[in-house]
Structure 1
Amino acid sequence: MKLFQYWILTLTSTLLLFSSCKKDAATSADLYSAVPKSSVLVLESRSIGEALNSISQTSMYSQIDSLPPILAFAEELKSLKGNFDTDSVTDFLKKRPVIMAIALSGAEKYGALFIALGNKDFEKSIGKRLSSVYKVSQKTYSEAEVYHFYKEDKSKNYYVSSYRNLLLFSTSSFLLEEGIRQVNSEFNIKQNLQFQKLYNTSNKKDLANLYINLKELPEFLKTKLPLGNQQFISRMGSWAELDIQAYNKELLMSGLILFPENEPYFLQSFQKVKARETEGQQIVPAASGLWVSHTFANAEQYYRNYLAYLESAGRLRKHEQLLEKLDFDHNKHLLEWVDSEMGIFTTTGEGGRINYVAYFKHRDEDDAREALDSLATDFIEGYRGIIIKKLKAENALPRFYGPIFTDFHYPYFIVSNGFALFAEDLSSMKGIINDMVDGKTLGADEEFKNFSASLPSESHIKIIASSPGFLNYASTSLEGGDAKILEKNFDKLSNFRWAALQINVDDDAALTNFYMLQSTQRKERVARLWNVELQSDAANTPQFLKNYTNAKYDVAVQDKDYRLYLIDYSGKLLWTKNLDGPIMGNITQIDIYKNNKLQMVLNTRETLYVIDRLGRDVENFPVKLKEPATAPVGVFNYDMARNYRLVVPCGKNLKNYGVDGKEVKGWNFKASKHELITQPQHFTVSKKDVIVVLNDGGQLLQLNRRGEQRFEPVEGLPKLQIPFFLKERESLAKSEMLANGPDGKLYSIIPGGTADNLYLDEENPADYFIYFDEKYVFSHDEKLIIKSDNQPWSAELDGDISTRPKVMIFGNEFYAAAFSKSADEIRLFNKKGELVEGFPVYAQGPFDMGSLKQDGAINIVTYTEDGTLVCYRVN
């Protein structure tokens, strides 16, 4: 955010603040004579008025003009505009060249110096107007008059000088004085041979030209865009220049990176090595936020060049010493099988962390497997038909190939689909396998295909960034205000869908292209957001629970060793808690203390638990049940007064507990003739209510709030699939309780009245049933069927549906999803019954769905049989 603020926003807004009251000096100076020689960025526009107008008219600008930093500048600009004569400002900007130089203005602090050709009449007019709004002081610095305009509380500071026909403006007095010193210096930045070469080759007809001091850029980025160690940039070259063009939904920059032959730079590794088309899109996930690829026609020639670069840089001996720690033939095991491409890409790993995956295209699968297998530990695991192994040699990849693979210490690896892939995190590797097997790669993504068609086919280095994956990657490094801005504007920034940087090396320069594409109309897309490795296999359905501290949702799940996990929306494990058995049914949230802080109610066969958000037992809980529970606890909130009743079926008895952990006095339930087998439910319609629970003898008991019989039991019912769904009408006596039976029929029971049953579809008896949003949702074998007056539909999975489907209204749209154990898949359908793009997704267990971050995206959380909890995000 800060980087964009400096490059675009500062140029487009603060330019209008140029002013002064001093007459021109006798001798005119070139604009570049005032550019500080330590500048990290130099941006020149030869017609700033036209450039600003072109940028402001683009759709891309409209997507970012409401971001907080830009809004703040816009408000300041609005207040200042009232003091200016619009025509005089327009005339001043028309066809006027302007330079913005970014340089150090203090300790780890950067500022902007604006340089333009002066205009005495404009300067006098604007100077007077500013003097009427701001406090002003004046001093002489090196023969130049410097004016300081400021608010009395020093909240605004502008420094202006008109010197030798140049108008200098900055919010930093240091940079303004540095510009003046530079004007009087014998040295001009254009005397730098590297800068001069770039200046002479730049396209002066484009909107602007950007010159980048690559040696200084990492320190600047560290303060503005802290995305890890970026020192590698200084090793790419000395200076770079990019010509800028902006269209409605596209930003294009092209130019050169210079790397003098007499200095060591990494790009020299690609000299006299032909570039190839990238093929990594075959294995890079479509949801990856960042992908860096290197291509070469000959891997051995590339590596010889790389060693020559290290020798020129004085680092070859250190490299050799690191390799000496690897007791195997390095070339044989790490190079000879490599074909024409290597690189890294991001993926999500354990706990939602952003991890890197390394890859190498191999010449022959058997050769690659043989070379790597001999370096493997005893670890071996099969996953979806692919063998995963692990390297035993510490830091083999970074020691041999260099810093691009720094994060790979003892990586897991696979050989598949024409590539060898390496991941430090096992869950990341399994996620990559899922994406490859399910065809969720960039190579299969139509949107990426369309984007890449606009790019040069071959390049030595290609960097692809895509949103929202890149924004997730960036969010792990941002803090404070920047992180909040990103979170609040995540969806809007996600419209900047694709960006690509390509570098082609030739002699002592590299052709460089940057292309960014805005795409506001995106189809629904699904991506794996995070994984969490449980300590043993999952045992129940993951469940979304509201987090009252941030209005988002957490995920609760239990494993086969009875551990309960609570995981936040980002995949961070909050806590685990050991229970004395499997949870019966779902968890219910209550507000015991009536302070909007929620607790979890659940029961095992032996115990009733109430647990707070930190995993602690609430006072007076857990309660050891006097008889084993035979069904899940029912939680009743009579009249929404938060005076909760926790009602537990225990054999033939129905126990009623208050939130003090004690049995409720006045509860008069008489033991059932048969064992109670369903979760008690409480229904209220027009201030009339009933409590229902089914016993093993086919009786549906209908009770009042004291546990006494309210209506005669409904007799002769089969073992219904509870819960009941209430089809509410104007009164309780006219409402229907709906559930499906083992015979596939829908059972309709009117409280205190009759019971009836029928097939919703005689040819497709219901295996599972839901009544939701006036829709009858049911499944039969592999079919998912929606019966509705408005838009009925049916769809199929690749195997029988294994659990009750899930339905929801999201963004005013209806969605339905189902899981098939035999097909290892979840499918999500929209209101028309169309499969959402990106589905099916891989799953070996049931799921829950909703929006964890409440951010306009659907999340589906499921698991695999190896104990991996997986969260998918549908954008």
Structure 2
Amino acid sequence: MGKFQGKLFALLFYVPMLLGIFGSCDKTPPKTGTLMDFVPENTSVVFKISNFENLQADIENNSLLSKFGKTAPYLFFSENAVLLKNLHPTTQSLFCINKVNDSVSAYTFISKQTKNLFQPDSLKNKTIETLKLDDQSFQRITIDKQIAYSAIIDSVFVVSSSQQILLDILKGKTERDDTFKKVFNLPSSNKFTALIRGNKVALNDSTKVAFTSWSALDVTITPESLTATGITLATDSIPQLLNVFEDQIPQQNDVSALVPTDALGAVSFTFNDAEKFQKNLRNFRGEKDAVQTTGIFGSVSEVGTIQFKNETAIFIKSIDAALTNDALARYVSAKSEFREIEISSFSEPELFQKTFSPFINSTKANYVFQIENFFVFTESEITAQQIISDFQNNNTLKNTSYFENTATDLSTASSLLIFKMKGEFSETISGFFNAESSDNIKNISFDEFPLAVLQFSFDRNFAHVTLSCKEAGATAKSVSGTVSEKFNLKLENAVLGIPQIFSNQNNGSNVVVQDIANKLYFISESGKILWSKNLGSPILGTVEAATISGNKNFAFATKDAFYILDRNGKEAKGFPIKFKDKVTQPLSVFDYDNNGNYRFIIVQGKDVLMYDKNGKTVKGFGFEKAKSNIAQSPIHIRMGSKDYIVIAEESGKLNILSRVGKPRVSISKNFNFSEIPIAEEDNTFVVITKENTKERISQDGKISSQKLDVGSNYWFAINGNVKVTLDDNLLRINGKLAELPLGVYTNPQLFNVRRNNFVTITETQEKKVYVFDQNGNVLNGFPVYGTAAASIDSGSGKNNMIIATKGDANNLILYSSN
């Protein structure tokens, strides 16, 4: 837990760092008992945390935050916040950071007082004293010689590493800033939100200026990325740089097409009214006299800088290159030519600093050349030649896979766009730490994070903010026009069963797969094994998703146990449930009303066992034992307002029951059940027998039979209004025939992704995976290589899906398709 706390502290500094942000009124808060009322005055960062345990796992698995293990913030936090690992909030909590002085920070934790939040009786080496100071009563808690201070105020538990901060809260000295209240109360469905007092932004290594008052960011942590989206607010009471974009419409940012891949970063800002924008900048700087630019910027929509190791280049993008050329003519004289591009000397090297400070501070714009609509100004001819060469060779940021991966998070148009490349953000980070920790951070390598991006889009009196930093990982390999291979991962042993994909709204997608040694793997979308678990037996059927207490869990059965695991690989309380008798069918999961009140069905021969989400036996279910062995996993079918539980026996008896296990439909006929699951079609129960007879059973028990003119490899599947059949190589989707090449095919699988239905099927001899839409059309880019059945789900991008299948015996393949 201490390791997690250190990384959390690193995160507290890291999110504001990427934003470039460093680091009142009535002092008596209303006693409402709301968490906001107890945020310390002048706090730098406030984190709103919905699930402390999930956040712990996310941070532990994040490859960026793991870099901070040996920094002073980590050591400070893990050594001085022993109390935090003994806090167990079950509701939203706040975590606040205050800068005490230039080298010391203090934390404050705030949460509703609940029964198990803090249980000191179980702690060793602890002392709890009740103190009274300035007429305020509070507790001093000492654990392993580390001290924190706590109080319960209006049913709210507050603990701080600073006695003074706790006393101030008790006296009503809390954060009362109106802008803070606005950002705190912004609606958000995210489980982790950062509120950052945004005083300064780092435009380059030497310039940090007042930018905004507060930012509210929904933070998403995956194993390979840290992203955030939200808004930032400026005020008119003090000069703040965000306000220079007032009345400006964000324009398209095209600088990525110009920035060489070996640059260290770039800054791009846009405007649609150059004269008004320059006036706003002069007002920000407190200047009255206008700079004469002879119309150079009148036809310009994007301006910025490109940072190299020893030099800064300046660029402008024109919407009318001829007009810009005419305006520049009096300042340029021909110098040389490189690759048919003329490089000219420029006589006003300080023009950009005078016009666009603080965005641009360079005073050495000595040379200028034109590439398409870009005019680029450099300090030296060598840098000019380098930019020209890289542009002509397509060796620019726009053409990299990591930019393409990041671009899915960004808007094409924005007011301000900041790129940090080649992991060159440690210097920016160091401003958040004391001198001692700054040296530690300088020694950290961020090479696997080739790009961090910060984007602001002005909108009335605030700006939308996007932050994205992603690990490069293995470059996606293009398979065909619209399909890329995200990874090809070799496991310790051969893959067993069908790899399954589970999407999570805030954490991307993950693959769950088992190998023949019965090890279960949980793998990220980029191919990183997040955890594995030895089960001892193969999983029967598939893994089922079950959202319990707002968190996605995984439920499944083996021949001797019933498991529920959370997405961190931890067993739910009360699980696994071990059995002496053999489990004979895959786990069935019922959620009658889609409200998370799950019923889990275990079959042991003739016996039916029903459990709730806590692992307790459900009482009152009347069907506990069949007269013969059960032939298939029980299923739940809803027709209209009625629920049916359907249980097929090997004797041919079909039991159609109510929720409580009582007979609901009387059946007068026995059936020779095949492996095809019983389904619902047109408000009837459908049984496909081993003789390929389709038996329809109405809700009042009437039976109609249809002999199917199909081959021995027939399969039938239905999901809502999509029906799929396979007869040898004849695939029909809602009646539309897709004649496949002759071969040996897996059973078609139906999936719903972003409200669209898709069908996967694999030819196992030629090793081809097909994906069809619900209209019977094969998707562009398919088939792709695969040796077993495939599953699909939504990926982390906005418009893509991912496909998981088996490759060679030990290999798991994940594809991405737009």
TM normalised by structure 1 equals: 0.46
Larger Rg: 1
Return the structure number with greater strand share. Answer: 2
TM normalised by structure 2 equals: 0.49
Return the structure number with greater helix share. Answer: 1
